[in-house]
Amino acid sequence: MSRPHVFAANWKMNLGPAAAAGFFDRFLPLCPPEPGRRLLFFPSALSLHVVAAATRERADIEVGAQNLFWERAGAFTGELAAPMLAEAGASFTLVGHSERRHVFGETVEDTVRKCVAAAEAELGVVLCVGETLEERRQGRAQDVVRAQLLPVLDMVSPHPQRWMVAYEPAWAIGTGENAAPDDAQEMHAAVREMLGASGGMTPVLYGGSVKPQNVAELLRCADVDGVLVGGASLDPGDFAAICAGGS
């Protein structure tokens, strides 16, 4: 079965509302819609409104939050609930990004709660999984990814249009050193197997130092359905080149 290619931009703590609007002024003419291609943007929550408005005419572009809290409302200072994110224009959310896990101490249990809350609010999820360098060196990469993925699958039944997995080895994020295509393919095939019956329909994205220069070789891998891009998604020209399949 052929799955559409997905190009996702994770802007992290960059591009406030004014810069986000400026990004789309340049990006949209560079990247017209293409059949069978989905684009996803994960701006700062403060820029969600602007990004949703700038992309309203583009059915191929969806907008998501980078994080959420699992309660629907209440005394949780500084947190953002799934229904609020949906109201601000999000139709997706990232869950379990490596920086959430390793910088902010998010546990597997936290990611499960977040995925359940997202599903209740009808937000799609891109669940990020991946091992550290030490875990890879110890030969435990697939075990680590399985331990991040299976508890979520126990609690939510993935909806094919609204559920993706992003394999992002922690050692490849923001380092300039992407996974070798063969290593990415091996993990993606393993993830697809872990996904069981939904594996054939679930987009499995690769993330970690994706650039215009390496995206083509990654997309050639049979089980790499798209990419989740951090640093190189901040520049409209670079991200448009990535969405075109690379240079």
User: Least CB distance from residue 240 to ligand PGA, whole Å?
Assistant: 16
Applying CB under 6 A, which of residues 43, 124, 207, 212 lies at the interface with ligand PGA?
207
Are 123 and 82 spatial neighbours (Cβ–Cβ below 8 Å)? yes
Q: Return d(Cα 159, Cα 119) in angstroms, integer.
A: 9
- What string of DSSP letters covers 163-204? EEEEE--GGGTTSS-PPPHHHHHHHHHHHHHHTGGGTTTS-E
Residue closest to 126 by CA, chosen among 56, 185, 202, 16: 202
Output the six-digit token pair for 22: 């400026």
Q: Residues 152-191 vs ligand PGA: string with x where CB under 6 A?
A: ----------------x----xx-----------------
Applying CB under 6 A, which of residues 118, 205, 210, 242 lies at the interface with ligand PGA?
210
Q: Return d(Cα 228, Cα 6) in angstroms, integer.
A: 8
- Choose the catalytic residue: 62, 99, 135, 168: 168
Applying CB under 6 A, which of residues 5, 7, 10, 15 lies at the interface with ligand PGA?
10
Q: How many residues bind ligand PGA (CB under 6 A)?
A: 13
Applying CB under 6 A, which of residues 230, 239, 242, 246 lies at the interface with ligand PGA?
230
Binding-site ranges for ligand PGA (CB under 6 A): 10, 168, 173-174, 207-210, 228-232
Give catalytic residue positions.
97, 168
